[in-house]
A and B are shown apart, each in its own frame.
Chain A
């Protein structure tokens, strides 16, 4: 059974349609990440699930109940916001118990739940402090605690780590993942524009662009089998290399042709069979390119070398364009050096040049 189900939902701001008939099913206990650039509608979708935004058409189901017309508090959800949204004039304890007080929970029960959540998040010593006496990381921890005490079936996260510095972001990311594992059956819907958060946290990623879902899949599928050029380019850092060319049917099967460079596609799992001569874009992740003297594509020149510690990114260019190659961190190259590249044909992606869809 799915805990959260968005069925044909249309959201409209005044005259502008934000979504038109968007559907999404989320399983119980699943960690779903909505990923996309700003303005893609991911936060709008989250707000619609939370009930903070009225939908114009369609239904939203949570835990087997149609909650389309329910108030946010009656939907069995908890939410964590980017700006923490802690009540500034209440201390941590009051912040965490506000929702329970509103729900007229008995006092001993409130105290028990707050104490439990505080312990889980290691914020017990902070309970009597006010939000302005906390650091950013502590504030977000309190905000997560406030969500935790609600005992909700579904957690909604709206870019919870975007206001934190890089180190804290990594720490809290791991903590959120650990929390999800400990809570077991709690469903989490997490909005971010950060692909690393998406890749590391998600059971399934929903990639969105311009109010439309581009692809739904496990991090593996999203990364290795992107459904279109947008997903391929948006996920992965350094970015996937795109090489324009066309399909040609030689005697021994289909191959990709860019100028005089050729790549055999005999093992490529086509979804739709291409026609010979069709314009395509070849996508290759930087780690699937290799600088090797036995490579199939000679004639590249080293352009720029970017040592990143764990690995080194080498930009190689030829007359047509440049590609990024990810090599071992110890690998060094001199700009101007001429190199030969090797491509692993089993790891490439092919997209139609006109529609951008995966072939």
Chain B
């Protein structure tokens, strides 16, 4: 036959190395899927089934009871209104924090990369330094400052904290993205008579969609997953979902309701999960764009 003549597409053979790669990938996938699997099946089982100890088994009598209980009637300490309270608290914290921190970061990044303000590099360095100091160091001083100014333990307080701590990363992200845009665009806009705000709003911001998406993803997941700031600054009425989840899981008396704990955890993880699934493509692209250039 003519098989010996190299022609057209090169044939692919399944080699030992390739089998090894697939074996590794499948094992790794299973390893990371396993906890999720356990959480899902456990949350769908009644307690009798959980007591049997077959944690990997599918539920025999599937029920959503644990989910409804976790959402609306699980006990967080003394109150038993479920995790829904925390969910709405988190939403109330999330929306202004994300919007304000992105606006602040975008303006900062724009000013730093285009307007070359005097001392811009020093300021940027200080800002970056702030990003590397452990948060815990700031907690006590911030608590003192906020209680002195009288906004401690309020929604304003927690939003402000998120905006402040989001500033270094947001500024870095936007600065690097803007450093990759051609400077001639900015020059052209200046000759056309644009000022600081009109260039930002009319020329630069319309070109920022990719990085705005990335910033939104980072901030939504980051702020949603926050625990320590929420616990410290939000006040009792505004405790975010993460804190309430912890209360539900830790405040059980008598038998531990594993199914409710699992369901509550899944509910708390839902928002970041949805964000990742919806925007994974943008996320990778934007991270690369922000990292390589600049």
Contacts and interface: CB of A to CB of B under 8 A. Distances in A.
A52 B187 contact: yes
A142 to B, nearest CB: 12
Interface centre among B182, B191, B202, B203, by most A CB within 10 Å?
B191
A47 B202 CA distance: 23
B291 interface: no
Interface in B153-198: 182, 184-185, 187-194, 198
A82 to B, nearest CB: 7
A98 B194 CA distance: 9
B191 A72 contact: yes
A85 B188 contact: yes
Contacts of B57: none
A72 B185 CA distance: 14
A50 interface: yes
A99 interface: yes
Contacts of A332: none
Contacts of B193: 73, 99, 102-103
A255 to B, nearest CB: 53
A167 B56 CA distance: 70
A83 interface: yes
A99 B203 CA distance: 12
Contacts of A103: 193
Interface string A79-99: 101110111110000000011
A146 B191 CA distance: 11
B207 interface: yes
Contacts, number: 57
A110 interface: no
B192 A85 contact: no
Nearest to B192: A99
B185 A87 contact: yes
Interface string A87-119: 111000000001100110000000000000000
Given A73-B193, A89-B206, A99-B193, A79 B188 contact: yes
A89 B192 contact: no
Given A73-B193, A98-B202, A89 B187 contact: no
A11 to B, nearest CB: 14
A87 B189 contact: yes
Nearest to A152: B191
Nearest to B198: A102
Measured as residues with beta carbon below 8 angstroms from the partner, the interface class of chain A is 20 to 34
A116 to B, nearest CB: 18
B202 to A, nearest CB: 7
Contacts of B188: 79, 81, 85-87, 146
B207 A88 contact: yes
A295 B198 CA distance: 70
A85 B187 contact: yes
Contacts of B191: 50, 52, 72-73, 77-79, 99
B199 to A, nearest CB: 9
Contacts of B189: 87, 98
A103 B192 CA distance: 8
Contacts of A79: 187-188, 191
Interface string B196-220: 0010001100110000000000000
A186 B69 CA distance: 79
Contacts of B207: 88-89
B182 A83 contact: yes
Nearest to B194: A102
Nearest to A158: B184
Contacts of B187: 47, 50, 52, 72, 79, 81, 85
27 contacts: A47-B187, A52-B190, A52-B191, A71-B190, A72-B187, A73-B190, A73-B192, A73-B193, A78-B191, A79-B188, A83-B182, A86-B188, A87-B202, A87-B203, A88-B206, A88-B207, A89-B206, A89-B207, A98-B192, A98-B202, A99-B192, A102-B193, A102-B194, A102-B198, A103-B193, A146-B188, A146-B192
Interface of A: 47, 50, 52, 71-73, 77-79, 81-83, 85-89, 98-99, 102-103, 146, 150, 158
